[in-house]
């Protein structure tokens, strides 16, 4: 059985986990264990190719962010 790396409780059907694509660490797909907002978690869940990296891995890789720049000023 897989355990959450954050709270050390089991990953279950009712509390599914997210696996880090870099270190394969698993944490619950919850706000408390991933530090993501519920919106971000929902987006990950609905994504075709789920790619998520844990806090530690994000820290060691250069974080790329997408900036959305509107073409017109309001």
Footprint on this chain of Zn ion (rule: CB under 5 A): 4, 6-7, 20, 22-23, 25, 28, 33, 54, 57
Considering the complex, what minimum distance in angstroms separates the CB of residue 42 from Zn ion? Answer: 17
In the bound state with Zn ion, the residue whose beta carbon lies nearer, of 59 and 68, is 59
Instruction: Pick between residue 43 and residue 56 the one whose CB is nearest to Zn ion.
Output: 56
Q: How far is the CB of 69 from Zn ion (least distance, A)?
A: 30
Least distance (Å) between residue 10 CB and Zn ion = 9
In the bound state with Zn ion, the residue whose beta carbon lies nearer, of 36 and 57, is 57
- The span from the CA of 51 to the CA of 32, in Å, is 19
- 4 close to 27: Cβ distance less than 8 angstroms: yes
Contacts 24+ apart (CB under 8 A), 44-52: 44/18, 50/18, 51/21, 52/18, 52/19, 52/20, 52/21
């Amino acid at each position: 059985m897989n355990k959450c790396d954050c709270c050390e409780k089991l990953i279950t059907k009712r509390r599914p986990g997210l696996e880090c694509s870099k270190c394969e660490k698993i944490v619950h797909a919850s706000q408390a264990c991933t530090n993501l907002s519920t919106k971000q978690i929902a987006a990950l869940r609905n994504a075709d190719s789920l790619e998520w990296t844990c806090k530690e891995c994000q820290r060691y890789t250069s974080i790329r962010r997408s900036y959305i720049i509107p073409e017109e000023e309001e």
